[in-house]
Chain A
Amino acid sequence: QLQLQESGPGLVKPSETLSLTCTVSGGSISSSGYYWGWIRQPPGKGLEWIGNINYSGNTYCNPSLKSRVTISVETSKNQFSLRLNSVTAADTAVYYCSRRQGASSFRDYWGQGTQVTVSS
């Protein structure tokens, strides 16, 4: 059974960089045909797609965040990561990592989510 687990600081100061890692267990992140992505949810609000990456490192990001977002994959650790720089209070959210099957809208596995608060 595939499992995804987010990890990273729960508190980030304004203007600094938010860094999260998603560790994949029960399967290989290097398997072709999958996209690994990040989605966030501000308190009391809806879901927002941040971006995704495939096993070969091809990335796609939300245009509204593109200038601040870096998504990378580390196959040796079976992990992928999110970096969001110059954060503000508007970046406070629960951040989820997920897997999507390629050529499909099927996001079949999700992490439990991790709360990140931006505050001084």
Chain B
Amino acid sequence: QSALTQPASVSASPGQSITISCTGTNNDVGVYNYVSWYQQHPGKAPKVMIYDVNNRPSGVSNRFSGSKSGSTASLTISGLQAEDEADYYCSSYTTSSTWVFGGGTKLTVL
């Protein structure tokens, strides 16, 4: 199974909004709404920010939102804050009953 495709890096200034894309295929993102997004700070375990495309766990800021169109899922972070600087990974269920992650996107808050 191939990893989902994410941009290697994105950057923006505090207060701005960014969107990270996650492109899969008709064997994963395109057929299931089981897409989640994880935030990972250096040396820390990943933390789920969005699950099932657009659901936000309790305690996660409403500045984080998710969406999907066809085989591409997206994570949007609005009102960027310094603490949002981290690596972000998408993940999807696949038609092989397995899970696949994206390669990760490094978010830099300028």
- Tell me whether B30 is interfacial, beta carbon within 8 Å: no
In the complex, per-residue mask of B51-72: 1 if CB is within 8 Å of any chain A CB, else 0 = 1100101000000000000000
Cβ contact within 8 Å between B98 and A113:
no
Cβ contact within 8 Å between B52 and A46:
no
Cβ contact within 8 Å between B89 and A105:
no
Cβ-neighbour of B93 out of A37, A96, A105 (below 8 A): A105
Interface size bracket, A side: 20 to 34
- Tell me whether A107 is interfacial, beta carbon within 8 Å: yes
Interface size bracket, B side: 20 to 34
Cβ contact within 8 Å between B101 and A46:
yes
In the assembled complex, the CB of A93 is this many whole angstroms from the nearest CB of chain B, namely: 13
In the assembled complex, the CB of A106 is this many whole angstroms from the nearest CB of chain B, namely: 4
Cα distance A62–B96 in the bound complex, in angstroms: 9
Cα distance A60–B52 in the bound complex, in angstroms: 20
Cα distance A48–B2 in the bound complex, in angstroms: 11
- Tell me whether A78 is interfacial, beta carbon within 8 Å: no
